[in-house]
Structure 1
Amino acid sequence: MRETANQFVSEGWDVTVVTIADQSWERDFGLDHTLSERVDPRVRIVKLPLVREDLETDIRKFSEERALRPTRWAAAYREKGMKEFPEPIYGGWKAALEKAVERIHRQRPADLTLATCVPYVNMAAALHLWETHEVPYAIDFRDGWSVDVIGGGEAFTTDSLSGRWERKALSRALSLWLVNDPIAEWYRERHPDLADRVHVVRNGYDEDSVPARTRTPDPAAGLTFGHLGVVTSPPHILKSVLDGWRIARERDPLVARSRLEIRGQIGSGAVREANAHMEMIRQAQARGEAVSFGGPAPKAEVPEIFASWDVLLLMIMGGKYMTSGKVYEYAATGLPVMSAHAVEHDATTVMTGHPLWTGAPGFDEEALATACSAAAKLAVEASEEDRAAARRHAAQYARAAQLGPAVRRLIHQVAPAPEGHEGSGTTPKAQGTHEVEDLSV
């Protein structure tokens, strides 16, 4: 999303980003301001005081109903969110989002709205500007809505309330961006009349997020395996990985001398670092299995973290519809990558052809143990040519290379450039401001 905004600004557009207040982000997943620092200063940011009440942990702010009957309160809260838009929790934000974009449009008439999901209620705000002011819009759909990216198949039918909302929003959109080919194909088959509007725009990686060089492994001292990313997968996946790691340490002297470091976010809201995943990590630590957790990692420190590791562990849930933001960075580091995900997975598509990849063994602990040893062997034996080839394989997924053409294509749809003219910006560049929208007015 940051790269998308920066790309529009680089094309000469006045960009206003609508988001939620910092406190709301902090309550949910937290904030990394090293990411914020790389937003082009000409981008105007409007922060809405929208909040998830269900993530409040201060019991002094609980209603009597929530304090005494929390399950009933949570069910009512989700039901309330569904009344305006068929999305639990976030559906209740519809009116506030519509009001905000109306106000922004009055101040700076919009030529284009780009709604990024999730939440899917963002589409309602874009649709509102189209219906009231005929402002064209596109949907940065990412994983899609009606496809179950975790379990595979249909998340809801076309004739359900969600299905009718999705169809209405998609049918009026200029363009639909999806993160991978399986999800894009799903939507082309589900809405064949919209097939020509569906485009694959992968997440990609920031080139300044990977180290210029990686360290030379020291087999005598042991290797460092590292996992970087949000851990939200079902606990059984982490259990399989830790079991595979334990077995590999019992059989392979090199792995026995090695360490496994986990960095990133584990859980969200009140259960951050207070869940089954953390308990399994603590148990592995207590058993002396050389497993550690280092907490979330600021974006600015990511290259340094990668440079301190010898092998990358790619642990992801889902199947063929599931992609990963981290797989692109992993591929671009030039380090060996050990996968812990389903064999039929979009990460497999990204990694196929990578010379330092162990392949996808699934979640069988014996297969994961074998992959640990194979990755360790790759780390020790890989040449500089092998590492350079791995980086070349990943270069196609650089974020600017993915998003630049998509942004220019969308701009051309809204304001086609004169023949023989390259650039298509039609509005002056904005001065960067960060505003909190007062929805009480």
Structure 2
Amino acid sequence: MTARPSRRVLIVAVEFPPVKGIGRLRPLKFCQHLQALGWETAVLTLTEGDMQPVDRTTLDEIPDGTRVFRVPLPRPRERLVLAVKRLLGRGRPVDAEATGAVPGNESVPGPVTHAASASGLISSVKRGVAWMDRFIHRHVQIPDDLVLWWPPAVRQGVRIVDEFRPDVILATAPHFTSLIVGAHLSRRTGVPWVADYRDLWTGDVLRAWVPAWRQRLELALERRVVSTAGAVVTVSGPKTEVMRGRLPRLPDEALVTITNGYDPEEFEGVEPEGQTPGVLRIVYAGRLFKNRRGYELLEAAGGLLWERPDLAGRFRFEYYGGRAPEIVARMDELVTRHGLEPVFRFFPDVPYRRSKALQKGADVLLLIVDGGETTSGVIPGKLFEYIAAGRPILCVAEEGATPEIIRRGRLGWVERPGDVAGIQARLARILDAEDGVFDPDQDYVRGFERRHLVTRLARVLEQVAAGGPR
């Protein structure tokens, strides 16, 4: 029997190993499972170190046979810092935290007298750089802070297309600069492309800070860029409907929902970590920032211990990952007010392998869904990681796609944001073992295995490749 000729796909993804964030998993798993379906894969991404946080052990996750092309991100800001250092001569360099200078590259401090004479200039430069950063972030870096990657990525991408000869280009976002790169590569080379949305470009809950004038500008840019795609894929039904209204000229069949998913084998052989007899451990694995906060959990725990001191020492919340400074301040205030020092423990970010061990060793996994205008369509990638870990989930979220999956899959419990009394009562029932046995609907949950989801993606890529560019 003659072997089926392979197809080739070039994936544009700025979040890719060694980047540690969960956004890396979608393009990474596309590569893995598309190869099993007879596709050759290549990835166009950033140079190592151009995005943080980094976990170099994730490089081992890249499937054999996946070609990775890395293009550096231009950094004019660093050139400005170097120019300031030259201006100051042998004086002390501008503070690395204020300027973004790379530790280890500082000049040797000069005499104290010279440093003192330059201190006023240094302070002025710090203020100027900080103001410039804020201005550029808000008014210039459109659609995001990787916009300067677009021209070199397209230039090198054209050469990669000539070499790799893909049948289709898949650009996944965020960052939304990836979609611009995908569209321009398609126009320059004639290779059709597919836009893949993990988050919405405009109107997303994590981009609520974008001012109204810029939202209008980016919406126009989005329509112009994405309307050239052969298909648009999103991670949830509500997001697909948003895009359907945003891109009315695309046919219905060109808008497809393919959620994130999980691989059952990822947690096979992982030894649980942190199990503590007599203590119910509620583990959160991820970052807290912007609209992902969960203050009501601290207030609920404080109220529960006030009413039932007998529960002291019987439960503990553990957070593994970063917290935005304003969230740290508010949480510290709540911890102090309610005397929750033994109950809430905060740890730095941990390597992915250890994160899986901590998840598997948890009694309950905590999921906090970002709040905002489009929260109904948010399905955190962390949800599927939790499903693979096989532990019950306590979810704090408004009604939408994520609560629907948790309820239909019998994966745990859902409480509304801000409902301190409801969360307090839920914690009490969990501790008193009154909420039943964790009993997932395996037939439903298996539908989120990545091998099934990427099979659907392969069909989309086949159709777009066969139809040519729009």
1:140 and 1:76 map into 2 onto residues whose CA distance is 29
Residues 250, 219 of structure 1: CA spacing in aligned structure 2 closer, same or farther, 3 A cutoff? Answer: farther
1:358 paired residue number: 413
Match for 1:114 among 143, 153, 170? 170
Quote how far apart the aligned CAs of 1:106 are: 2.9
Letter in 2 for 1:56: G
Quote how far apart the aligned CAs of 1:9 are: 2.4
Residues 185, 340 of structure 1: CA spacing in aligned structure 2 closer, same or farther, 3 A cutoff? Answer: same
Q: Contact 1:226 / 1:261 at 8 angstroms: preserved in 2?
A: yes
1:203 paired residue number: 260
Q: Contact 1:316 / 1:341 at 8 angstroms: preserved in 2?
A: yes
* Residues 1:93 and 2:137 aligned together: no
Residue deviations 1:345-381 (CA, integer Å, cap 9, x gap): 3211211224352222322222221122233345x87
1:370 paired residue number: 425
5+ residue gaps in structure 2? 1-26, 79-98, 108-120
Match for 2:46 among 13, 16, 20? 20
2:394 paired residue number: 338
2:30 paired residue number: 4
Letter in 2 for 1:132: R
Alignment of 1:382-401 (within 5 A): 382-383=436-437, 386-387=438-439, 389-401=440-452
Match for 1:169 among 203, 219, 225? 225
Quote how far apart the aligned CAs of 1:208 are: 3.1
Quote how far apart the aligned CAs of 1:228 are: 1.3
1:110 and 1:123 map into 2 onto residues whose CA distance is 17
Match for 1:266 among 304, 323, 344? 323
Quote how far apart the aligned CAs of 1:335 are: 2.6
1:438 paired residue number: none
Letter in 2 for 1:347: T
1:156 and 1:206 map into 2 onto residues whose CA distance is 40
SS in 2 for 1:42: coil
Letter in 2 for 1:336: P
SS in 2 for 1:320: helix
Highest CA radius of gyration, 1 or 2? 2
Residue deviations 1:61-115 (CA, integer Å, cap 9, x gap): 7997752413431145337844xxx314222222122112122123233321111
* Residues 1:102 and 2:102 aligned together: no
Residues 287, 189 of structure 1: CA spacing in aligned structure 2 closer, same or farther, 3 A cutoff? Answer: closer
Match for 2:61 among 38, 41, 47? 38
Deviates more, 1:107-116 or 1:355-364: 355-364
Letter in 1 for 2:285: L
Q: Contact 1:223 / 1:255 at 8 angstroms: preserved in 2?
A: no
Percentage of identical aligned residues: 19
Q: Contact 1:248 / 1:369 at 8 angstroms: preserved in 2?
A: yes
SS in 2 for 1:405: helix
2:284 paired residue number: 227
Q: Contact 2:158 / 2:188 at 8 angstroms: preserved in 1?
A: no
1:182 and 1:155 map into 2 onto residues whose CA distance is 23
1:406 and 1:67 map into 2 onto residues whose CA distance is 48
Residues 219, 12 of structure 1: CA spacing in aligned structure 2 closer, same or farther, 3 A cutoff? Answer: closer
1:12 and 1:100 map into 2 onto residues whose CA distance is 26
Q: Contact 1:259 / 1:290 at 8 angstroms: preserved in 2?
A: yes
Q: Contact 1:227 / 1:314 at 8 angstroms: preserved in 2?
A: yes
Alignment of 1:287-302 (within 5 A): 287-302=340-355
1:406 paired residue number: 457
Quote how far apart the aligned CAs of 1:393 are: 4.1
Q: Contact 2:34 / 2:454 at 8 angstroms: preserved in 1?
A: no
Quote how far apart the aligned CAs of 1:412 are: 3.9
TM-score, normalised relative to structure 2: 0.73
Q: Contact 1:310 / 1:335 at 8 angstroms: preserved in 2?
A: yes
Residues 157, 407 of structure 1: CA spacing in aligned structure 2 closer, same or farther, 3 A cutoff? Answer: farther
2:17 paired residue number: none
Q: Contact 1:226 / 1:313 at 8 angstroms: preserved in 2?
A: yes
Q: Contact 1:266 / 1:278 at 8 angstroms: preserved in 2?
A: no
Q: Contact 1:90 / 1:119 at 8 angstroms: preserved in 2?
A: yes
SS in 2 for 1:147: coil
Quote how far apart the aligned CAs of 1:244 are: 1.2
* Residues 1:323 and 2:379 aligned together: yes
1:220 and 1:6 map into 2 onto residues whose CA distance is 38
Q: Contact 1:175 / 1:199 at 8 angstroms: preserved in 2?
A: yes
Q: Contact 1:332 / 1:394 at 8 angstroms: preserved in 2?
A: no
SS in 2 for 1:140: strand
Residues 134, 66 of structure 1: CA spacing in aligned structure 2 closer, same or farther, 3 A cutoff? Answer: farther
2:131 paired residue number: 72
2:334 and 2:347 map into 1 onto residues whose CA distance is 11
Residues 18, 151 of structure 1: CA spacing in aligned structure 2 closer, same or farther, 3 A cutoff? Answer: closer
1:349 and 1:66 map into 2 onto residues whose CA distance is 51
Residue deviations 1:156-185 (CA, integer Å, cap 9, x gap): 799943223212222211111111111101
**Number of residues paired by the alignment?**
398
Give the structure, 1 or 2, with the largest relative contact order (CA under 8 Å, sep 6 or more). 1
Q: Contact 2:271 / 2:357 at 8 angstroms: preserved in 1?
A: no
Quote how far apart the aligned CAs of 1:338 are: 1.6
1:144 and 1:32 map into 2 onto residues whose CA distance is 26
